[in-house]
Amino acid sequence: MELKEKKTGQDQVIKKLLLGFLLLPYLSIANGDCDTCAQEQYLKAHGVTIPKEVSDIRMVAIQKGLESYSNDPRTISAISTIEKNASKCLRAQTLRGVNVCRGAGYKKSERKSIGLCGKYVKHGLWEKNPKHVTGGYPNGEYAVDSAEWLKPAGFIDITKVEGFRNMTPSTAPKGAVLVYRNTQKKTGRPGHIEIKLDNGKFGSDHINTRAISDYHPHRELIGIYVKLPAELERSL
């Protein structure tokens, strides 16, 4: 009798374990843990049909999110501001003892760097509506430390996301904010920051046809910052 009751008890435990295993996916969905479901919903909401042969819905969703970022009116506004400001002096500036900008209102060559990449990128993202950076003008002195004001503004480093770790300036989406460190110093300062323009060029306090890491031996890319829709970012 005791042996029979013991066996019956074991059978019940096994049944419960099997039932729990079978219900686990559904419980995860109920608890909001189904990241793939969130990504599917995001794609569906944006009218994207997922082909049956696609196995990685997550990658498709992120690519769609990056496309949305590039076409966001705030991104377009930032690019336009960067392009317009590149030929302007936002303030008087002396570089290595040379007066390279006489002051606000004066003109300069759009291809000439004046050592104010951070200032010009901040103005690009903050100066005109619609804009990605709201509130006051972003703090931060060095370009290499730009994550300190980009992250609070809602930007994420897409190179920290699985599947996008090998992204480069050339493969970065339009409007991406690229941050670099100075490899000659432990602090990485001052570094450099620039925005990927819609014509494949790169803009900061000047416009160049190449990313700075392609021609400067001591500038190393450390982050590519973009904004993703909140519902998509939460699922990553």
| pLDDT at position 35 | 62
Helix (H) or strand (E) holding 224: strand 219-226
**pLDDT > 70: percent of the chain:** 77
| pLDDT at position 24 | 46
Using alpha carbons, select from 110, 114, 118 the residue that is nearest to residue 180: 118
Q: CA-CA distance, 44 to 48, in Å (whole number)?
A: 5
Instruction: Count the neighbouring beta carbons within 10 Å of the beta carbon of residue 185.
Output: 12
| pLDDT at position 5 | 52
What average pLDDT is seen over the chain? Answer: 85
Residues of the chain with pLDDT under 50: 3, 17-24, 26-32
| Whether the Cβ atoms of residue 233 and residue 226 lie closer than 8 Å to each other | no
Question: Integer distance in angstroms from the first to the last C-alpha of the chain?
Answer: 54
Domain formed by 36-81+113-233, architecture: Alpha-Beta Complex (3.90)
Q: CA-CA distance, 145 to 189, in Å (whole number)?
A: 8
Q: CA-CA distance, 122 to 132, in Å (whole number)?
A: 10
In the numeric block, which tokens belong to residue 123? 């103005």
In the numeric block, which tokens belong to residue 6? 């013991």
Contacts of 62 (CB under 8 A, 6+ apart): 161, 163, 164, 228, 232, 236
| Whether the Cβ atoms of residue 77 and residue 130 lie closer than 8 Å to each other | yes
| pLDDT at position 230 | 82
Q: pLDDT tens digits, residue range 19-77?
A: 444 444 544 444 445 666 777 676 666 666 666 555 577 888 899 999 999 999 999 99
Strands (E) located in 19-116:
93-95, 98-101
Angle at 69 between CA 39 and CA 225, to 5 degrees: 95
| Whether the Cβ atoms of residue 114 and residue 104 lie closer than 8 Å to each other | no
